[in-house]
């Protein structure tokens, strides 16, 4: 499968991995498209959807490109259960990008008065959204000192024909770069690529050290270098396989009202004074397809946030504690770790290494390997029966966390809590778990006692 967005869509239309729907009836991107996605989710369906006819725009809109783990895995050419392994493989085996001299993403180049973001079919999802937002734009920027590229998703509020408000989490890399440029009193050049192959999306979301370049991780994910092309008005490169690129600058010191926006935490949050992108050029393919990621707690948004987090936590925890087996992020800011405990203090070491690996983490829970971390009832049973609060819970107060946690006070400053729900001192010496003798369970055939139609 090609690495461009079109190739990905063609493959999905052919294989219908996780479902594929073309909607021909006209929809309004103000709430109607979001309502359709939500109703399908209520029916436990997350198909890739192409809205072919969108009110007020000539561009079709596609959502849920990364809506299921199966779809993302398929795009990378791996079985679903090997997705995490492939991401960790990419962390360890990055492949640098290559430059190509031309690309269809520059078939059409718009500058000056031809720039008009209000013609984009940007969506509004919830009644609290301040304006239409671009949500599926990968922001490319470069560190002024070491030149390393950084990729991230940032919500972009449409404020006018050539202006976008941007939300950058304090402590995340784009914000670090922007602060460095402000210290120099200079604008930060950024390119926003819309319509991306899942390898680009996952690479952009990779969490890791500041100088770990996400471009190489994209190459590692797809096991071939990412092809990139030079922008027309700024000194950056963008993926040759994207649909639409916004070439822009973020001015130093400018702050304007941005938000609220319906966030992945399930709340409308983050209204504040934030920086602004000024668009210098828009380039796109002929007849571009506009990609969107439904805001709030849509499956796609949650899956996109979760997949790279889990890979990053697993590598961090395993680097401190090789006995860690698996991790799950079942809710915002929350991590469950499964570990085979070998010695005293190991559970706390594992949790501390997870806290160290990502500022978003707020609550870590660690369990023995007999607990199914995909079954929250089972995890709560472990907490109920293996935890003594004073002994097994630790709190690190007033640490930097997400600025989108509505309980944090002041904004972005949060207590971090670890719960050691492993059996003490270990599972072998703990209260025996209720079990009907195995020999009897194997011997008894239900139908011999209650018939076939019980
Ligand atoms: C759909 C989506 C939207 C996101 N929006 C934002 C945002 O508005 N601001 C932000 O700081 N992070 C946002 N994120 C999270 C960052 O993209 C993510 O933390 C990324 O790994 C940051 O990379 P960096 O630390 O390399 O800059 C979003 C993630 C997803 C999946
Ligand atoms: Mn980064």
pLDDT in tens, the chain (454 residues): 457 999 999 999 999 999 999 999 999 999 999 999 999 999 999 999 999 999 999 999 999 999 999 999 999 999 999 999 999 999 999 999 999 999 999 999 999 999 999 999 999 999 999 999 999 999 999 999 999 999 999 999 999 999 999 999 999 999 999 999 999 999 999 999 999 999 999 999 999 999 999 999 999 999 999 999 999 999 999 999 999 999 999 999 999 999 999 999 999 887 899 999 999 999 999 999 999 999 989 999 999 999 999 999 999 999 999 999 999 999 999 999 999 999 999 999 999 999 999 999 999 999 999 999 999 999 999 999 999 999 999 999 999 999 999 999 999 999 999 999 999 999 999 999 999 999 999 999 999 999 988 7
Ligand with an atom nearest the CA of residue 210: 2
How far apart, in whole angstroms, are the C-alpha atoms of residue 239 and residue 224? Answer: 13
pTM above 0.85, yes or no: yes
Angle between helices 198-205 and 69-76 (to 10 degrees): 110
pLDDT at residue 1, as a whole number: 43
Q: Which of 37, 154, 360 gets mutated to test ligand 1 (max ligand atoms within 8 A of its CB)?
A: 154
Ligand 1 neighbours, Cβ below 6 Å, are: 135, 150, 152-155, 167-169, 172-174, 205, 207, 293, 301, 304-305
Taking the CA of residue 201 as reference, the ligand 1 atom at the shortest distance is 31
CA distance 36 to 43: 11
Q: Considering Cα of 283, then 287, then 291, then 294, what sign does the dihedral take?
A: positive
Whole-angstrom Cα distance, residue 200 to residue 206? 10
pLDDT of residue 100: 98
Ligand at minimal distance from the CA of 204 is 1
Ligand nearest to the CA of 149: 2
CA distances to 107, 137, 145, 228, 425 from 240, in Å: 11, 15, 26, 5, 55
Contact 31, 61 (CB under 8 A): no
Tokens, residue 187: 């604008």
State residue 269's pLDDT score: 80
pLDDT of residue 436: 97
Q: Whose CA is nearest to atom 30 of ligand 1?
A: 153
Nearest CA to ligand 1 atom 2: 153
What is the number of the ligand 1 atom nearest to the C-alpha of 308? 21
Residue 133 buriedness (CB in 10 A; 0-12 / 13-18 / 19+): buried
Residue nearest to atom 22 of ligand 1 (CA): 152
**Ligand 2 center to 358 CA (angstroms):** 12
Residue having the nearest C-alpha atom to atom 18 of ligand 1: 205
Nearest CA residue ID for atom 13, ligand 1:
154
Contact 3, 33 (CB under 8 A): no
Q: Tell whether omega for the bond before 410 is within 30 degrees of 0, i.e. cis.
A: yes
Ligand 1 atom nearest the C-alpha of 205 is 21
The closest-lying atom of ligand 1 relative to the alpha carbon of residue 261 is 8
- C-beta of residue 246 within 8 angstroms of C-beta of residue 277: yes
Q: What is the pLDDT of residue 2?
A: 59
Give the residue from 87, 83, 177 showing the smallest Cα distance to 139.
Answer: 177
C-alpha distances (whole Å) from 273 to each of 164, 259, 407 are: 13, 9, 20
- Interval between CA 216 and ligand 2 midpoint (Å): 11
Q: How far is the CA of 174 from the centre of ligand 2 (A)?
A: 7
Lookup: tokens for 373: 């971390």
Closest ligand 1 atom, residue 270 Cα: 8
Count Cβ atoms below 10 Å from residue 396 Cβ, excluding itself.
12
Residue 302 Cα to ligand 1 midpoint, Å, equals: 12
Rounded distance between C-alpha atoms, residue 239 and residue 248, angstroms? 16
Residue 453 pLDDT:
80
Say what the pLDDT of residue 38 is.
Answer: 96
């Amino acid at each position: 499968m090609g690495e461009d967005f079109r190739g990905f869509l063609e493959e999905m239309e052919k294989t219908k991995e996780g479902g594929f729907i073309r909607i021909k009836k006209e929809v309004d991107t103000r709430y109607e498209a979001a309502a359709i996605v939500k109703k399908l989710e209520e029916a436990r369906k997350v198909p890739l959807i192409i809205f072919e006819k969108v009110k007020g725009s000539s561009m079709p809109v596609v959502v849920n490109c990364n809506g299921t783990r199966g779809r993302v895995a398929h795009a990378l050419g791996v079985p679903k259960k090997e997705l995490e392994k492939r991401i960790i493989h990419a962390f360890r085996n990055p492949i640098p990008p290559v430059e190509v001299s031309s690309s269809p993403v520059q078939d059409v180049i718009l500058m000056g008065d031809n720039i008009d973001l209000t013609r984009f079919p940007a969506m509004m999802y919830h009644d609290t959204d301040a304006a239409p937002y671009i949500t599926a734009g990968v922001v490319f920027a470069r560190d002024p000192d070491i030149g390393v590229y950084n990729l991230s998703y940032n919500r972009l509020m449409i404020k006018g024909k050539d202006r976008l408000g941007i939300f950058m989490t304090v402590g995340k890399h784009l914000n670090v770069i922007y602060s460095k440029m402000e210290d120099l009193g200079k604008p930060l050049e950024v390119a926003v690529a819309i319509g991306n192959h899942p390898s680009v999306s996952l690479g952009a979301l990779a969490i890791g050290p500041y100088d770990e370049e996400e471009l190489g991780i994209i190459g590692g994910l797809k096991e071939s270098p990412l092809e990139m092309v030079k922008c027309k008005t700024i000194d950056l490169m963008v993926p040759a396989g994207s649909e639409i690129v916004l070439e822009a600058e973020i001015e130093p010191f400018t702050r304007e009202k941005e938000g609220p926006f319906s966030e992945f935490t399930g709340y409308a949050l983050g209204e504040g004074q934030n920086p602004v992108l000024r668009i210098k050029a828009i380039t796109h393919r002929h007849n571009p397809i506009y990609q969107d990621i439904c805001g709030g707690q849509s499956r796609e948004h949650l899956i996109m946030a979760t997949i790279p987090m889990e890979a990053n936590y697993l590598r961090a925890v395993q680097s401190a504690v090789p006995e860690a087996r698996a991790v799950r992020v079942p809710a915002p800011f929350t991590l469950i770790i499964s570990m085979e405990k070998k010695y005293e203090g190991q559970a706390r070491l594992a949790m501390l290494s997870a806290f160290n690996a990502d500022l978003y983490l707020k609550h870590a829970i660690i369990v023995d390997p007999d607990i199914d971390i995909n079954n929250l009832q089972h995890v709560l049973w472990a907490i109920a029966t293996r935890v003594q609060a004073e002994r097994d819970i630790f709190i690190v107060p007033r640490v930097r966390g997400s600025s989108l946690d509505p309980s944090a006070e002041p904004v972005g400053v949060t207590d971090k809590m670890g719960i050691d729900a492993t059996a003490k001192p270990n599972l072998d010496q703990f209260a025996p778990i209720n079990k009907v003798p195995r020999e009897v369970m194997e011997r008894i055939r239900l139908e011999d006692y209650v018939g076939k139609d019980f």
